[in-house]
Structure 1
Amino acid sequence: MSPALATDARVVVIGAGIVGCSLADELTARGWSDVTVLEQGPLPAPGGSTSHAPGLVFRTGPSRTMTEFAKYTVQKFGALEADGLPCFDPLGGLEIATTEARWADLHRKAGLAASWGVHGELLTPQQCKQLWSLLDEDTILGGFHTPDDGLARALLACRAQMTRAEGRGARFLERHTVTGIERADGQVTGVVTDRGTFPADHVVSAAGFWGPVIGAMAGVDVPLLPLAHQYATTEPLPELDGRDDVRTEAGRPILRFQDRDLYYREHTDSAGTRLGIGSYAHRPMPVDPFAVPAFDEAPVMPSSLPFTEEDFAPSWQDSVGLLPALGASRVAEGFNGVFSFTPDGMPVLGESRDLRGFWLAEAVWVTHSAGVAKALAEWMTDGRPSLDLHECDLYRFEDAQRSPAYIEDRGAQSFVEVYDVIHPLQPIEAPRPLRVSPFYARQQELGAHFLEAGGWERPHWYEANAPLAEGLALPERDPWSARYWSPIAAAEAAATREKVALYDMTPLRRLEVTGPGALGFLQRMTTNQLDKKPGAVTYTLLLNEAGGVRSDLTVARLAPDRFQVGANSGADLDLLLRHAPAGVQIRDITSGTCCIGVWGPLARDLVQPLTRDDFSHQGFGFFKAKQTYLGHVPVTAMRLSYVGELGWELYTTADLGLRLWDTLWEAGREYGVIAAGRSAFNSLRLEKGYRSWGHDMTTEHNPYEAGVGFAVRPAKGEFLGRAALEGISEQNVRRKLTCLTLDDPAAVVLGKEPVFVDGAPAGYVTSASYGYTIGRCIAYAWLPASAAVPGTAVHLEYFGEKVPATVAEEPLFDPKMTRIRR
């Protein structure tokens, strides 16, 4: 048995904060008893972020994964006690709105709560005041109340879990400063401290803002930035007396005033009840983790920095405006507490590929701590987590996003945006442009409107096509759905259906897999039959051991021992590299290559005159590949189409990309060629029913549920995840990814909205876009199989409004595939 699955594995966890204690509890509960937790400070309050964390637990957010983490934290801590005191107080949470934008966002958040299974309700100003009597109800428009959220007592939860873990064999050692990580042959072997060395098969860095320090010892980059966050407490307020007692610390819901980047919680002791105020409204204050003093050298504790009153002054005035009773009080004490932020605000979880057995559990707040620990413990003991973690994966960041400058810039912006209203399409503002395709100059000339993903500039529409949109009869959009959208997208979609368009597909990840064992390796890793003649292209899946969809791939066999793989993320490359046998080479060729999608009924008319090879349907069939020349440019052409039209993906090296674009553009003038963007692309792919991994399907879904069971060929032999699919079919699954069309042609949704069947929440939307060809919005959603029957009436909730929809037969466009196979 491998070290990752051995029940007698020796585990060393670095850090006895809330994550380390939770992980020790979760691991020992699963039978791993040889667990040592090392802490540089004194226990039970070692001086990291846990020691000063305010303990707010609000579960609802745009990430389902983070919501599930928080839900488990509430569930677990709600059942724990230490010294007869509860580790979680279900006080509820109250978010109030003082602007129309925030009030609309709270309606959207109520929809997210329904999608993710969190109970919540929207309140009037008067109802908000009943929960928080100090509020000036004239300043607020309403609130969102989640009665099961509340206050986690982090240090008590640490103690409770330490006691349970110690009872199962774990040990917690205080005042052990880690000075090195031992390794041999790419495997971690131990942890060196100032008080001895501890052998280990697994080492978990749960060091919080010291994560980069521990990572450096292991030779592993940890992309996080520690930043200081202001927290102040008032003098005792008589207005708060009467509802709290020392046992519960607080009696009112945790209050968030996000329009001013503020939150409030009560602190009750023998002197009375004070108000704690946390602020994200100040300038970012980065902290060098390598310069943070040890516990005995810090004035208070390492994570507590001196309070900067001048930074807090505006927040105090905003607080007095919301809670007028504060006008007679003052700040009694405060500090700037250090927390961890990543470039995208999400945790960093997973095992290093370069140092096996070295795990990261970093940038995790108390809110999500128990959920993260459970997922990581499953990963370590079972080989996989039950929850999809692609948003938190260690390898989600591109190389261009791992520079110290990028981490500092984006980490600081993550702090600024903690309470901002973020649109699902909203791009980062800086650093841009970072990664551009070879066509970037031409795209700028055409007035491309760029959004960003993975560091890439991605055109979403082109102003040059504005004349094509004149006179189009399109429904008027609400302000939210109109952001990052243009009616030009409708014109570009129509041009793709009627003529021909060029799409920049360069940001899609491309891997080259070579070597005498390449075919056998890819056969074992993926679900479809790849043993075909060179020139074949196959759509296939990467599964985990439980049969969940880790990714979907297109695999082109370009030679007997050479394959080009179209992948989704760095996690795909990571998985393949971990499993590749000797003699198989895997290389990421994305940055050195580029791709143009040429799609539309006139695609062949455009491309055929540029090559001497036969691009007819008989000479170049669907899902085939050829290496040829278009004009002066060598290309790898693949007969694929993600938009449901005739066409090809054309690949060449980056140095020839501009020449390829110009060649196609000049040849296409007589056919009315246009450049088209991602907005039209997404509409077209949903009309065709094509799935988007990470949105429509993840490791939590099997292929038959997701509607991609056609890519599974059990008869070909053994492959990863095959055994888990035995006995499963599209006929016996209990849930399905389902196509919905909105009944009102003017209605639009964007994704993650709850879906109601017979008036009760039954699922949620994964992807949505207006289908310009069919004249109404399309939404894909996860629903119980009993409801996924064409003709079933459902409704979606969009900003509090009920939007009727109907389950539709898919695909909505060209179900017989006649257009794509011309």
Structure 2
Amino acid sequence: SDGLPAWYPVGSLEVAWSNERLIDLRRKLGVARSWGVSADLLSPQHANDLIPLLSSQIQGALHVPSDGIARAVRAVEAMASDSESMGVEFVGNVVVTGFDIVDGRIRGLQTSKGPIEAEQILIATGIWAPTTGAMAGITIPLIPMQHQYAVTTPLEQLAGETEEVRHPVLRHQDRSMYFRQERDSYGIGTYRHEPMPFKSEKLPTTRQDGRAPAEREFIDEEFDQAFEYARELLPALRSVELDKRLNGIFSFTPDGMPIMGQSPSVKGLWVAAAIWITHAGGVGKTMAEWMTSGQTEWDTRECDIARFEPHALQDRYIHLRSMQQYREVYDIVHPLEPATEPRNIRTTPFHTRLVELGAHFGESGGWERPRWFTVNEAAAPPSSLRTGWEALEWSPAAAAEHLGTRERAGIFDMSTFAKFEIRGKGALRFLQLIAANQMDRPVGTVTYSALLTHSAGIRCDVTIIRTDPERFLLITGGSTGSYDLSWIKAQSNMRSDVEFNDISDELCCIGLWGPRSREILAAIATDDVSNAAFPYLVVRKLTVNHVEVLAVRISYVGELGWELYCPADHGARFWDIVWEAGQEHGALAAGTTAQDSLRLEKGYRLWGADIHTEYNPLQAGLGFGVDLDKGDFIGRAALVDARSAGVRNRLRCMTLDDPSRIVMGKEPIWLDGKIAGYVTSAGIGYSIGQSIVLGYLPVAGSKLGGRVEIEYFGERLPATLRSMPLFDPNNKRLR
């Protein structure tokens, strides 16, 4: 309405005040390139050319030319005007008082101006979203946080400035600050102060004392140190004072990501909350796709409201994790660094035994999961030692556990799997609909399958055990249990002939894998576990020292072995039985870090990294998890079309020419002088002495034996394209 732009494409600068930050900017440059964002690392002089006010003490800056400053109100006004011209009606000054929900479906809205009928409703109420969601009986896990922002008096150096914004957005992450030019003044935002949470239900809904509802009183003493740091970075600020001051309020979530998607408990009720202006355009596009077609172009696993496990919807958890997100918003955070609190939310029946063995725990989906065991460090080969960034959240014990599993046997705590019972007269028919593989197999078999979206993207990958003619056990990742179950149940369309039960906490599981695993199991089971009696992909009920065990002949590490499920209340005793029997055969406890390197050697894909909804099974090399001849299933038509069109990008395996080098994931892959993809998974294959990298590359030009480069902290590491799997390609050890 004021005739000024809603978007200023002025770019952005992230400056490095410390050498540590400069190194991290090299990493971030690689991430930007991986996502197709043009960026460069500038010298101090080149950065000063863009913002002449900068101190000469900076060590460099990351420049993103496509970045800029959005004026949210102007953008909203422009979109509203366009919408009204297309017949959309906006009704202002309305108070929402409740929702009409019938049989788990949204039917309408209660307001101060009367009811509104609707089959779909989107909650996009920002910092008020938790209060809005509560009216519908759903939890929207975000915390409104106060955040300090101030604008200086005019700067002499900007006198006569005619543009509202000319300088790039400036981020000073070593001091947790950012800056924006505002004509002849500068705006200063800071995260340096302690988090100042605000309860959603106590937020005002109208202007008070001349302040907007999302503004609170500015606290000068909280800003004093930040203003000194601002003057350190921009010396010209020493001659000005603060003019406008406010404590704005915006949203933080437990994992720092937006909250989007359809409520798992109320069909037709959608959420788009914790959306910063930086994400708004992409979120709007995605929500429009999702609500109209049920699918999105981009994978939404890290934003979907269904990603939160029940514990993550509790007030204390939301508060503590969101506070940590605020404190760390500009910190250099290692990708494997676990959250600090709350911890020990979910522990397996083996937890005490794992602690006794010196387990170093990570956290996933609320579960405490052992990454490695310090008791194994002494057995690690000297060549496995690491330094630098890749040595963080890692131990040489992982190498010892990897090799011990390959050479003897590893005992893994796999209890964190999500385990769902699907039963009823329609169970098989339903699974045939959602699973891409053949589910009509004999009782006592286990099947790996992809579950696809209607566009053939990989929504989940699961193993499904048929325990009875009308009963199946579906196994998926512990951190994605709620996420997967919400989607699976949504496909049932409330059919009455299928029943779903989450039995994740009722069963614990040991992964017993390695060439001596059969000898160990034979020593404790009363049943025949020979290959003839118990072949690959078969399921049997065993008795192990009076403990009833469901033994599943399958392996995620590429070795002979079993997943052994038993009732959780027998878990500690069952661990002791397996552990004691394993000692005669050199078995050792092994953690998730070793499991990851073992699966990389075998080329096993990891959902959420190597596979997700942006890729189909043909691209991912998971044709064995699909049966196109079994009849119709979700995604089949799209997969047939994709096969006819031909695969253009495929998951490839590479090894670094220098086997001592390591990359962490998400680094750009250079092919023929251009960035052609990015690293989805990486790690050392200790059995083969190679540094392994997985990533999607164009089929044309990425032939076996071909050469690529992986950009790691600004250095290009030569690599060679290899066939998968690198270890035991004929699966002789597995079977």
1:572-609, Cα deviation, whole Å (9 max, x unpaired)? 10012122321211111112221110000000000012
Amino acid at match of 1:93: S
Verify: 1:575 aligned to 2:470, yes or no. Answer: no
Q: 1:673-709: CA deviations, max 9, x gaps?
A: 1001111110000000000111101111111001101
- Kindly indicate whether the alpha-carbon contact (under 8 Å) linking 1:764 and 1:782 is maintained by their aligned counterparts in 2: yes
**Residue pairs, 1:255-404, within 5 angstroms:** 255-268=170-183, 273-297=184-208, 299-404=210-315
Tell me the equivalent position of 2:413: 504
Task: Check conservation: 2:442, 2:466, Cα contact below 8 A.
Answer: yes
| CA distance, structure 1, for counterparts of residue 130 and residue 50 of structure 2 | 42
Counterpart of 1:231 (choices 149, 166, 169) is 149
Alignment map for 1:452-531 (pairs within 5 Å): 452-469=363-380, 471-474=381-384, 477-531=386-440
State the Cα distance separating 1:653 from its structure 2 match.
Answer: 1.6
Q: Which residue does the alignment assign to 2:321?
A: 410
Q: One-letter code of the match for 1:441?
A: T
- Secondary structure (helix, strand or coil) at the match of 1:672 reads coil
| Contact 1:709–1:730, Cα closer than 8 Å, also in 2 | no
4+ long deviations beyond 4 Å: none
Amino acid aligned to 2:538:
K
d(CA) in 1 for partners of 2:383 and 2:713? 25
Task: Identify the match of residue 470 of structure 2 among 561, 585, 596.
Answer: 561
Contact 1:517 1:583 in 2 (8 A): yes
- What's the counterpart of residue 46 of structure 2? 127
- The question of 1:713 aligning with 2:627 is answered yes
Structure 1 residue identity aligned to 2:688: I
Report the secondary structure of 2:441's partner residue: coil
User: Which position in structure 2 is the counterpart of 1:649?
Assistant: 563
Pick the aligned partner of 2:646 from 722, 732, 747: 732
What are the residue-to-residue correspondences of 1:684-763 with 2, within 5 Å? 684-729=598-643, 732-763=646-677
**SS of structure 2 residue aligned to 1:679:** helix
- CA deviation digits over 1:492-530, x for unaligned, max 9? 110000001101111121111111211111111101011
Instruction: Give, in angstroms, the shift of residue 395 of structure 1.
Output: 1.2
Structure 2 partner of 1:431: 342
Among candidates 53, 72, 75, match of residue 154 of structure 1: 72
Q: Residues of 1 paired with 2:701 and 2:645: CA distance?
A: 13
State the distance in 1 between where 2:716 and 2:53 align. Answer: 34
* Alpha-carbon distance between aligned partners in 1 of 2:642 and 2:261, rounded to the nearest angstrom: 29
**1:758-779 deviation line (CA, Å, top 9, x unaligned):** 1111100001111111112101
The CA distance in 2 between the partners of 1:196 and 1:310, in whole Å, is 47
Shift of 1:296: 4.0
Query: Hey, what's the Cα distance between the residues in 2 that align with 1:766 and 1:199?
Result: 45
**Are positions 1:639 and 2:533 aligned together?**
no
Q: Secondary structure at the match of 1:221?
A: coil
2:264 touches 2:306 (CA, 8 Å); kept in 1? Answer: no
Asked if structure 2 preserves the Cα contact closer than 8 Å seen for 1:755 and 1:761, the reply is yes
Aligned residue number for residue 442 of structure 1: 353
Describe the superposition over 1:536-589 as per-residue Cα deviations: whole angstroms up to 9, x where unpaired: 100001100011110101000011111111123222100121223212111111
Residue pair 2:141, 2:318 contacting (<8 A) in 1 also: yes
Q: Which residue of 1 aligns with 2:509?
A: 595
Q: Residue 648 of structure 1 aligns to which amino acid in structure 2?
A: W
Provide the rounded CA distance (Å) in 2 between the counterparts of 1:249 and 1:626.
72
Structure 2: distance between partners of 1:564 and 1:541: 15
Among candidates 777, 789, 792, match of residue 691 of structure 2:
777
What are structure 1's unaligned runs of at least 5 residues? 1-81
Contact 1:747/1:776, CA 8 A, preserved across alignment = no
Instruction: Return the alpha-carbon distance in structure 2 between the equivalents of residues 353 and 753 of structure 1.
Output: 34
The question of whether the paired residues in 2 share the 8 Å contact of 1:644 and 1:685 is answered with yes
Task: Output the CA distance in 1 between the equivalents of 2:325 and 2:254.
Answer: 6
Report whether the alignment pairs 1:116 with 2:116.
no
Paired AA for residue 249 in structure 1: E
Decide whether the 8 Å contact of 2:377 with 2:395 is kept in 1. Answer: no
The one-letter amino acid paired with 2:436 is T
SS at match of 1:733: coil
Separation in 2 of the partners of 1:632 and 1:612? 10
Q: Judge conservation of contact 1:639–1:647 (CA < 8 Å) in 2.
A: yes
d(CA) in 2 for partners of 1:582, 1:254: 56
Q: Specify the SS of the correspondent of 2:386.
A: coil
Distance 2:366 2:28 in 1: 28
- Return the alpha-carbon distance in structure 2 between the equivalents of residues 110 and 730 of structure 1: 37
For the residue of structure 1 that corresponds to 2:288, the secondary structure is helix
- Secondary structure of the 1:332 match is strand
Deviation at 1:276, TM superposition (A): 0.2
Quote the offset at 1:730 in angstroms: 9.7
The residue identity in structure 1 corresponding to 2:382 is: L
TM-score by length of 1: 0.87
Q: Aligned equivalents of 1:731 and 1:815: distance in 2? A: 29
Q: Secondary structure at the match of 1:473?
A: helix
Counterpart-to-counterpart distance in 1, 2:653 and 2:81: 49
Contact map agreement 1:91 1:251 (CA 8 A) in 2: yes
User: Which residue number corresponds to residue 12 of structure 2?
Assistant: 93
What is the identity, as a one-letter code, of the residue corresponding to 1:164?
Answer: D
Q: Tell me which residue corresponds to 1:106.
A: 25
What is the CA distance between 1:747 and its match in structure 2?
Answer: 1.0
Instruction: Please state whether the residue corresponding to 1:392 is helix, strand or coil.
Output: coil
For residue 703 of structure 2, give the secondary structure of its aligned residue in structure 1: coil
CA shift, 1:196, in A, is 2.2
Aligned length: 730
The residue that corresponds to 1:672 in the other structure is: 586
Q: For residues 143 and 776 of structure 1, what CA distance do their matches in structure 2 show?
A: 34
How far, CA to CA, are the matches of 2:16 and 2:102 in structure 1? 55
SS in 2 for 1:716: coil
Contact 1:225 1:287 in 2 (8 A): yes
Amino acid aligned to 1:191: L
Does 1:536 pair with 2:445? yes
Maintained 8 Å contact 1:611/1:629: yes
Q: CA deviation at 1:83?
A: 5.1
Tell whether 2:519 aligns with 1:605. yes
Report Cα offsets for 1:716-740 as digits up to 9, x if no partner: 1111111111143399200001111
What amino acid is the match of 2:260? L
Q: Give the TM-score normalised by structure 2.
A: 0.98
Amino acid corresponding to residue 257 of structure 2 in structure 1: M
SS of equivalent to 1:554: strand
> How far 1:298 sits from its partner (Å)?
5.5
In 1, Cα distance between equivalents of 2:670 and 2:2: 44
Q: Which amino acid aligns with 2:309?
A: E
Report the Cα distance in structure 1 between the residues aligned to 2:153 and 2:458, rounded to whole angstroms. Answer: 54
Is this contact kept in 2: 1:767–1:779, CA < 8 A?
yes
Is the Cα–Cα contact under 8 Å of residues 109 and 118 in structure 2 kept in the other structure? yes
Per-residue deviation at 1:295?
1.1
Helix, strand or coil for the counterpart of 1:671? coil
- 1:341, distance to aligned residue in structure 2 (A): 0.9
Q: Which amino acid aligns with 1:168?
A: M
Aligned in 2, Cα 1:820/1:515: closer, same or farther, shift over 3 Å?
same
| Structure 1 counterpart SS, 2:383 | coil
**AA partner of residue 756 (structure 1):** W
